[in-house]
Amino acid sequence: MKVKATMNHRALRQLSNTQIRALVMTADAVKTEVMNAAVVPKQTGELERSGHIDDSLVQKGRVKLVYDTPYARRLYWHPEYSFRQDKNANARGRWLDDWITGSNSTFAKKAFQELYRRLNRGTIQ
């Protein structure tokens, strides 16, 4: 029995490129979810505004949600602080825990699957 298989390299390349786009879009969706949940401590809003997506390692399949202020690490790792809740009702330390191990831990996976499927509409049947 002989089997002949041909690879559609253009479609494979498109799938790889779509993975990268979907990964960045997923990170942005997580950032939006965090902002909408109002869990980032807020006094002037600088910490919340400093949140951005670091996609420097996207080719290796890694993106990061970064809060880039001098005090971000201190506030994140010290949930015992008393955070103001007049501006962000759910403000707390370790504000990303819900999306890492908590109730929203499957959000990123589901978002990636949906975005990848949507971006590849027509390529994958």
Which tens digit of pLDDT belongs to each residue from 7-48? 888 888 888 899 999 999 999 999 999 999 999 999 999 999
Residue 64 lies in a domain: yes
- 46-78 tens-digit pLDDT: 999 999 999 999 999 999 999 999 999 999 999
Residue 100 lies in a domain: yes
Residue 84 lies in a domain: yes
Residue 4 lies in a domain: no
Residue 51 lies in a domain: yes
Residue 101 lies in a domain: yes
Number of domains in the chain: 1
Q: What is the C-alpha separation between 90 and 97, in angstroms, rounded?
A: 13
User: What is the model's pTM?
Assistant: 0.87
- 75-94 tens-digit pLDDT: 999 989 999 999 999 999 99
